Structure 1
Amino acid sequence: MKCDATWRHAEHFNRRDVVFHNYVKRLTKNWIFKAFIFTTIVANSLFMALETDYKLANKFYLFFDVVEQLFLAIYTVEFLAKLYVDPIKYWKIGFNVFDFIVLSLSFIHRFLPPSYKRSLYWFHVVRPLRTLRTVSFIRGLQVLSTALVSTLKSVCFVLFLLFLLMTVFALIGYYFYGRQDNGDFKNWGNLRSAFFTLFSLVTLDGWTDLQAETGKLGFTSSRIFIIGFILLGCFLFFNLFIGVVIINIRETSKEFNKGVQAERETTLIQKKQAILQRQQSHITDLMEKQKTSQFESFSEMVEKFKQTLRHDDYVLLDDLCSSLSFIDIYLTSLDEQDNTLYKLQQLYFETAYILGNLLEVDRHQERSEKKDADASAKAN
């Protein structure tokens, strides 16, 4: 509890550089900045592809090195800007952590001595990983990558079940067809060969040739064995794997859409709060100006102004209400008002007429019911 409170306090610490912080925040959220970083990543990928040409890499070594430093500087500025905007929330996003790891490994590879670079040649793998940063700029790829990561747990369970199934069939195949004298010792002679054979059956790679070889040795039951394993290992578990992936993608898409909707609602609330604060500050300024004037209130100012008016004062009619266009619009509005009143009167008349008819019908029914009641009473 104390740790959570510390984190919440750290997320809402007061800044002294509010103006510059807001400027950097707007800059990092701007689509132009994001498009520039995305273009940089694509350009970096193209230059890495050009460096694979041995002749170009040797001929323009200095140029490629300068361009690499330029890309590294742009990534560093992006990292520092995002970290400056929100140093706590930055580490809560997985894509940001991935960007930081790739950037850190790039710096390590950059400043390593040449002797270490030869021994740690696998550091070159870090540079192509920058291409994966494009995932953080495309929401569809974000949903797909997040779904794939969340699917790993379920996929591990499916693979474990497949491993158990392969173990059972490998032992059965070893005991039935793995005899060294008259069996298929090449494919079923030991567990390692049996597992490799079953893996080829899962991928449906050359299973007909395998069945033909086993059939030539006189094992008629091999057809049932191989086809049964294909039905279980390939069709059943493969479709189960696809179903798990689809379910996780659907759930991740729903959560992602909820997050996007929550972000939109938060942005809308912030805009409303900003408008209300601006209106409140404007009203406060007006109230302060009114207090500093010679009148205590607006009504007092109006009453004071009325006392200065006289009936014989000259009035300049150079105003909107005295223009020809205003008079034309005003007269047209009066005509429309008269037409509306006439239509309302007609509706009232029709309503009264219908209600009168309904009343007459009710009275007629009451009279007929009363007559029937009197007639039945006399008859009795």
Structure 2
Amino acid sequence: MSIRSVSLWTDKKAAAKASELYSEVDKSPLVNRRPTRTGRKRKRKQGRSAVDFVRNVVHSPFSQGFSLGVIILNMLFIAIEAEFINVDNSLAIQRASACANLVFIGIYLAEFLLKIYSEPWSYWANLYNQFDVLVLVLALAQWIVGIFTDQLSITLTGLKLVQGLRAIRGLRIVGRIQSLQVVSDALVNTLRNNVADIIVLMLMIMFIFGVMGHYLFSSGVPGDWGSMGSSLLTLWIYVCADGWLPYQEHLSSAGYTGSQAFTVIFIFIGNFIISNLFIAVVCQNIDDATEADRLDQMRKRREKKLMKRDLFLKKQRQDMSHLIAQQGGRNRNFQELLQEMVGTLRHEDIAAVQNLGCSLMWFDTFIVTLHYHENSMYRIQQTHFGIANCLAEYVDRRLQSRTQSER
């Protein structure tokens, strides 16, 4: 018995000791434990919430206004720097300009990193974001060139070119204003789709008139029509319709009396027709881009409304399920819970019921039925009025006949 009891005591003690060791191992921070599914979901949810927060901050109206203000302020600093450096190239102005440039580059870089963190893939699908990246790369290159100017042995012309490219930062305003985006999209579509045909037509007309002008006027006016290059340059001045009178005076003074008809015909075709055709194409593309932008804004508003409705319905279902679970299980009727909550709801609270009274189709059917019922009641009343009139007339006739018979 004693041996058996010792063995039993030893087994119990071993089991207790093993449980203590397991608990110490679980509580030890040095053990590389695999996170549970709930922990992974919680971490994933926290990461999603952080990304959503950054996305909301980046796309908020305050952030957009701040970015627009920074771009305008950077343009003002570039203009002031160019003006003062040409007047007074002092060391203090150069240092202030370098500090301001570094601040603007830091803001652009922070904006880029936030947008990449919130939208890593969709960010590159936007052409305006790609242009912002190009501007940021040029700004960083200009900053690096400014630091290592002596080591890179850059000429003064190259340095001025790099500094002049900073003016491109002002075009980032287009990506912040919707109306400017519509106009720029229309211009890009015009250059991409329609301008090539108009340019080919214009070059063909200029080539024809250039050959004609070269053979007609090269002997008398060799400076303007002596070669194909000079002829095309003169015709381009005719197309612009600016400064063409001296060239016509050269032809008139050389004795070409019919040159006026040549000049008028080409200016009419090149300036009035081709130029106005280009303007008409641009206006048409602007109208198409404006209409497409309006439809896109309507689609986004519709999607936002649908998303809000879905979120509201999801939240309502969750609240209902939670309320039913708290009040006694899911098998309980929600109408009973509403009867217990009478007097506790406010007038703005929304409560879903299980009968047909919460259906819009049921309300429409009920209103139409009431309308038919009202019409039926009106006709029945008119029928009753007619019967009453007939009975009254019949009674009057009976009374009149009785009085006449008694006389």
Task: Place the TM-score, normalised by the shorter chain, in its bin.
Answer: 0.7 to 0.9
**Deviation digits for residues 267-286 of structure 1, max 9, x if unmatched?**
11111111111111111111
Determine which of 121, 129, 149 is the counterpart of 1:88.
121
Determine which of 43, 49, 54 is the counterpart of 1:24.
54
Indicate conservation of the 8 Å contact 1:45/1:131, yes or no. Answer: yes
The reply on whether 1:111 has 2:150 as its aligned counterpart is no
Q: Could you tell me the TM-score, scaled by structure 2's length?
A: 0.68
Cα distance in 2 for residues equivalent to 1:29 and 1:143: 19
The aligned counterpart of 1:40 is: 70
The aligned counterpart of 2:178 is: 139
Cα distance in 1 for residues equivalent to 2:335 and 2:305: 37
Q: Quote how far apart the aligned CAs of 1:349 are.
A: 6.9
Q: Which amino acid in 1 is paired with 2:120?
A: P
User: Relative to structure 1, is the Cα distance of residues 351 and 176 closer, same or farther in structure 2, using a 3 angstrom cutoff?
Assistant: farther
The reply on whether 1:193 has 2:226 as its aligned counterpart is no
**Deviation digits for residues 120-166 of structure 1, max 9, x if unmatched?**
42322332111111111111111011111111131232122111111
User: Relative to structure 1, is the Cα distance of residues 96 and 298 closer, same or farther in structure 2, using a 3 angstrom cutoff?
Assistant: closer
RMSD of Structure 2 on Structure 1 (CA): 3.2
Indicate conservation of the 8 Å contact 2:324/2:334, yes or no. Answer: no
- Secondary structure of the residue that 2:241 maps to in structure 1? coil
Unmatched tracts of structure 2, length 5 or more:
1-43, 341-372, 390-407
- Secondary structure of the residue that 2:95 maps to in structure 1? helix
User: Relative to structure 1, is the Cα distance of residues 355 and 134 closer, same or farther in structure 2, using a 3 angstrom cutoff?
Assistant: farther
Aligned pairs (5 A) from 1:43-62: 43-52=73-82, 53-54=84-85, 55=87, 58=90, 59-62=92-95
Cα distance in 1 for residues equivalent to 2:182 and 2:210: 39
Unmatched tracts of structure 1, length 5 or more:
1-13, 306-343, 361-380
Q: Quote how far apart the aligned CAs of 1:47 are.
A: 0.9
The aligned counterpart of 1:130 is: 169
- Identity over the aligned pairs, expressed in percent? 27
User: Relative to structure 1, is the Cα distance of residues 125 and 292 closer, same or farther in structure 2, using a 3 angstrom cutoff?
Assistant: same
- Secondary structure of the residue that 2:257 maps to in structure 1? coil
Q: Which amino acid in 2 is paired with 1:99?
A: D
Q: Could you tell me the TM-score, scaled by structure 1's length?
A: 0.72
The aligned counterpart of 1:149 is: 188
Cα distance in 2 for residues equivalent to 1:49 and 1:302: 69
The aligned counterpart of 1:100 is: 133
Indicate conservation of the 8 Å contact 2:327/2:337, yes or no. Answer: no
Q: Which amino acid in 2 is paired with 1:118?
A: I
Cα distance in 1 for residues equivalent to 2:242 and 2:336: 96
Cα distance in 2 for residues equivalent to 1:72 and 1:129: 14
Q: Quote how far apart the aligned CAs of 1:111 are.
A: 2.2
The aligned counterpart of 1:175 is: 215
The aligned counterpart of 2:4 is: none
Cα distance in 1 for residues equivalent to 2:80 and 2:89: 8
Q: Quote how far apart the aligned CAs of 1:205 are.
A: 2.5
Q: Which amino acid in 1 is paired with 2:124?
A: W
**Deviation digits for residues 225-248 of structure 1, max 9, x if unmatched?**
111111111111011111111111
Q: Quote how far apart the aligned CAs of 1:60 are.
A: 2.6
Determine which of 97, 107, 114 is the counterpart of 1:64.
97
Q: Quote how far apart the aligned CAs of 1:174 are.
A: 0.9
Deviates more, 1:251-260 or 1:113-122: 113-122
Aligned pairs (5 A) from 1:5-20: 17-20=47-50
